[in-house]
Chain A
Amino acid sequence: GAGVSQTPSNKVTEKGKYVELRCDPISGHTALYWYRQSLGQGPEFLIYFQGTGAADDSGLPNDRFFAVRPEGSVSTLKIQRTERGDSAVYLCASSLNPGYGYTFGSGTRLTVV
């Protein structure tokens, strides 16, 4: 497709459950980013992939969060033992050149109840 696609668009899960969020970047974009946006706040960086490898994962809040991009295209953000504080919109972005020119997806709204 022409844009960054994220699925699901909404996810409601119970506290303690495991969730996976998917991102399909723009074809040919080697850089892929995950951000988290809480209500009324700007996006906060989580992790950056260049190709298949995580070039910078320093934004992941703790070891319950993990992301993969095994073939250098689709990425999955995985959250274990979800907590209510994990509720937010998780945004994925891709770019041709690292650091700028991002195109964001519409996000996955995660609600932990």
Chain B
Amino acid sequence: QQQVKQSPQSLIVQKGGISIINCAYENTAFDYFPWYQQFPGKGPALLIAIRPDVSEKKEGRFTISFNKSAKQFSLHIMDSQPGDSATYFCAASKTSGSRLTFGEGTQLTVNP
């Protein structure tokens, strides 16, 4: 059962542009929503995370927008750079739970 659906599967943007990746979840018990960045040959690295008591969280060029009623959240990367080229995963978990449920990933390419 795919509890977290992510789109698009791949994304190409120009340097300086805005990259937007979307996720939707099914389980209303989820209350922690992180985004991970993964480079080839490396494990995922936590980028930014949000709890459902806020609708937006910003850290540098990265912003999460969260819509609890729609059960959707998105990652916005402002002023995208070639170094941002990587695979991005959204995920969700219950605070008191033991596991993260990941989306299928978005391969982002930022052209110089």
Is A56's CB under 8 angstroms from B98's CB?
yes
- Do A45 and B100 contact each other (CB < 8 Å), given the known contacts A100-B49, A100-B93, A101-B46? yes
Is B43's CB under 8 angstroms from A107's CB?
yes
B25 interface residue per 8 A CB criterion: no
What is the distance, in angstroms, from A30's C-beta to the closest C-beta of chain B?
12
Q: Pick the contact of A42 from B45, B49, B99, B102 — CB < 8 Å? A: B102
Which residues of B, 86-112, contact A by the 8 Å Cβ criterion? 89, 91, 93-105
19 intermolecular pairs with C-beta atoms under 8 Å apart: A31-B98, A33-B99, A40-B105, A42-B105, A43-B89, A43-B102, A50-B98, A56-B98, A56-B99, A91-B43, A100-B49, A101-B46, A102-B46, A102-B100, A103-B46, A104-B45, A106-B42, A107-B42, A107-B43
Q: Pick the contact of A48 from B94, B99, B104 — CB < 8 Å? A: B99
* Residues of chain A with a CB closer than 8 A to B95's CB: 99-100
B-contacting residues of A (Cβ < 8 Å)? 4, 31, 33, 40-45, 48, 50, 55-56, 59, 91, 93, 98-107
Alpha-carbon gap, A99 to B100, bound state (A) = 7
Is A100's CB under 8 angstroms from B34's CB?
yes
B60 interface residue per 8 A CB criterion: no
Alpha-carbon gap, A103 to B34, bound state (A) = 12
Is B32's CB under 8 angstroms from A45's CB?
no
Alpha-carbon gap, A103 to B95, bound state (A) = 16
B83 interface residue per 8 A CB criterion: no
Is B43's CB under 8 angstroms from A105's CB?
yes
Is A99's CB under 8 angstroms from B43's CB?
no
